[in-house]
Amino acid sequence: MMTLSEAARANDGYELWLPPANDPAANLDIATLGTGATLDIAAGELHRDLATAPLPILLATNLRPELAALKLPGAALGREGYVVRRATVAGRAVILVSGNTETGVLYGAFALIRAARTGADLTTIALQSAPKVAVRVLDHWDNLDGSVERGYAGASLWNWWELPDYKDPRYTDYARADASLGINGVVLNNVNAKPDSLTPRYIAKAAALADVFRPWGIKVYLSARFSAPIELGGLKTADPLDPAVAAWWKAKADEIYRAIPDFGGFLVKANSEGQPGPRDYHRSHAEGANMLAAALKPHGGIVMWRAFVYAESDPDDRAKQAYTEFHPLDGKFADNVLVQVKNGAIDFQPREPFHPLFGAMPRTPIMLELQITKEYLGFATHLAYLGPLFSEVLEADTYARGKGSTVAKVIDGTLDHHALSGMAGVANIGRDRDWSGSTFNQANWYAFGRLAWDPDLSPEAIAREWAQQTFGPDPRLADIAVKMMMQSREAVVDYTGPLGLAHLMGTGHHYGPGPWIKDLARPEWNPVYYHRADASGIGFDRTRTGSNAIAQYSPEVARRLADPRTTPESELLWFHHLPWDWKMNSGETLWHALVAHYDQGVASVAAMQAEWDEARPLVDPERWQKTATFLAIQHREAQWWRDASLAYWMSLNHLPLPAGSAAPAHSLDWYEAQQFPWAPGQAR
């Protein structure tokens, strides 16, 4: 039991990285020039979150005549950028927080708070920043029944039943957290969409949320079910070239904009995993997207059209199918369509090579879709900081327009000169008190937001600023947290799928190992499809002798991937099928290297446990205990992944474990018999 003084220091994580400054007596001098809902929020945030300031703080948009003499940057800030610096206004020395719009001022206020909490000297503060990516959006895979697909942090935040009347104050706290990172859009409902979200009743509910979010600079978007004209409109078809269908969508868009004047637009999953789409009518994805885009265009809305498409009717390597489908459509999309591409060609695995569509469609704005919720990285319980995963894809060089054509430059629009650009993160947010299921999961929400604002930020720097704000200024604690975070994602790769292995998880719920699974209806649903292991070797040959998926990359990249000797070892078995006794660059065999990675993964989790033990005197007991317990779960499950995987590989290759590596705790039969029908987050 907690003692009384411990209980007083308890922290359930609700305040995220923005704990109130707890010093109402600070009596800060914070003034605004002009009025406006967003300006008022910005001032309120500074009162709430700043413990002290060396000077009065003045908030104002650049448009104010009082600031004219300062010659503040205008165009460079765009609609959302900010300047925070010392200035003399009307004879008074102040810290000025400014931008071209009130939203820019709000982002500046949060930048000032972040700076203060990460130890900056406010007397010399000089910040200037504008987002590199235009659409920075969280995709909530939330269902109308309150469940969340691949959600591990409790029920949906949106209480659809009580909306639009009751607006839970939590919606405002959610908006605060998003705005503090610069997130400016929220897709409210699951990509596996029900048509009901587009009915008048649910449009009113979305409008109520939009009203809450608006002053925080956040627009709402909806996932649209492509067949809604049939289900809601009574039409016989959803063919995008049918004028009645186009008219239905136009009327629907007009109706939505009457309720939500700044509605962001639609996100669409079409012809993928059973969802309806234009291919049902032998129309292309571009024809489908453009029809919706035309309905939104007069209102300034956009379509985010997902390229996560593969079909059971297509016998080709699943990793190739999205490129095959979308690459020929380059230049065919309307100018208010973003094609949304997952970081890798399969599905948010702990490690995937970058998706070949990045850089391959120069005449189309391509947005990046990341998964913040940890569907394949241990659900809520495993500690896996995703900053390094996100940055790995952003930094990857596509060579599409020569060296330096990074994914970051593709998706921020600079490589091919697109003004429309975007980054989406599948949210890890639910009704749990700590929002994301664990304290460290909050860092993934945080890292997504910060990287969407600036894809070039370093994941380690982001981890540090998150830790300082979340746990307080003690550098010892931040050091421990950052060390744990920076090794955590690689640990998950090591114990679930090292050396480029992927998609080895249990069926449906995706919890735990299942590399032996081979009897599911669609070939590419089976783990055996991905690892192709047998007595002689392991890995998916994606070179010319196999599926030739490497030919979808630029020649420079393809050349490197054609040869296992020049393929990064971390992606080796993604691209190559190799004998178990293949000699790695280190000289050891592939089999021994594989085992070493599994062992390393388990050892890394043990190391994180030891590090967290050292943090005990520095953290409030509530967050310390939950994290310690989750690390123990992670250690147990890492061991399970390692043991089950090795038991299976050994059943194929009949090789002994290297000396010093422990035998699996159970027989392969035991691992295969484990069932988890009630694992959370499953599709409904």
**Cβ-based nearer residue to ligand GCU, 95 or 137:** 137
In the complex, least distance from residue 187 CB atom to ligand GCU, rounded to whole angstroms: 12
| Cβ contact 376:510 at 8 Å | yes
* Residue 648, SS3 per DSSP: helix
**Cβ-based nearer residue to ligand GCU, 348 or 598:** 348
| Cβ contact 307:341 at 8 Å | yes
User: Beta strands 82-89 and 92-99: pairing type?
Assistant: antiparallel
Q: Residues 45, 139, 287, 347: which is the catalytic one? A: 347
Q: Residues 139, 352, 375, 494: which is the catalytic one? A: 375
Other residues' Cβ atoms within 10 Å of the Cβ of residue 659: 6
- 165 an active-site residue? no
**Residue 571 found at the interface with ligand GCU (CB under 6 A):** no
Site mask for ligand GCU (CB under 6 A), range 68-87, x = bound: --------------------
In the complex, least distance from residue 141 CB atom to ligand GCU, rounded to whole angstroms: 7
**Residue 285 found at the interface with ligand GCU (CB under 6 A):** no
Encoded amino acid at 174, one letter? Y
Tell me the C-alpha distance between 351 and 74, whole Å: 41
**Residue 341 found at the interface with ligand GCU (CB under 6 A):** no
Measure CA of the first residue to CA of the last residue in the chain; give whole Å: 39
**Cβ-based nearer residue to ligand GCU, 140 or 269:** 269
In the complex, least distance from residue 646 CB atom to ligand GCU, rounded to whole angstroms: 26
**Residue 191 found at the interface with ligand GCU (CB under 6 A):** yes
Q: Which residues pair with 369 in a beta bridge?
A: 342, 424
Other residues' Cβ atoms within 10 Å of the Cβ of residue 653: 20
Site mask for ligand GCU (CB under 6 A), range 123-152, x = bound: --------------------------xx--
In the complex, least distance from residue 245 CB atom to ligand GCU, rounded to whole angstroms: 23
**Residue 192 found at the interface with ligand GCU (CB under 6 A):** yes
Q: Which of 219, 269, 355, 374 binds ligand GCU (CB under 6 A)?
A: 269
- 347 an active-site residue? yes
Q: What is the number of alpha carbons within 13 Å of residue 562 lying toward its C-beta?
A: 11
**Residue 679 found at the interface with ligand GCU (CB under 6 A):** no
**Residue 202 found at the interface with ligand GCU (CB under 6 A):** no
Q: What is the number of alpha carbons within 13 Å of residue 415 lying toward its C-beta?
A: 28
**Residue 503 found at the interface with ligand GCU (CB under 6 A):** no
The owner of tokens 């399970």 is 640
**Residue 374 found at the interface with ligand GCU (CB under 6 A):** no
The owner of tokens 């879709």 is 369
Asked if the bond preceding 278 is cis, omega within 30° of 0, the reply is no
In the complex, least distance from residue 142 CB atom to ligand GCU, rounded to whole angstroms: 12
**Cβ-based nearer residue to ligand GCU, 288 or 664:** 288
CA distances from 536 to 204, 337, 500, 651 (A): 60, 47, 18, 12
Asked if the bond preceding 164 is cis, omega within 30° of 0, the reply is yes
CA distances from 113 to 24, 119, 187, 488 (A): 16, 10, 27, 28
**Residue 319 found at the interface with ligand GCU (CB under 6 A):** no
Q: Which of 110, 226, 248, 308 binds ligand GCU (CB under 6 A)?
A: 308
| Cβ contact 240:285 at 8 Å | no
Q: Which of 239, 347, 490, 524 binds ligand GCU (CB under 6 A)?
A: 347
Tell me the C-alpha distance between 396 and 389, whole Å: 11
In the complex, least distance from residue 510 CB atom to ligand GCU, rounded to whole angstroms: 6
In the complex, least distance from residue 527 CB atom to ligand GCU, rounded to whole angstroms: 14
How many residues bind ligand GCU (CB under 6 A)? The answer is: 10
583 CA to centre of own chain:
36
Write out the catalytic residue numbers: 273, 347, 375
Q: Which residues bind ligand GCU (CB under 6 A)?
A: 149-150, 191-192, 269, 273, 308, 347, 375, 683
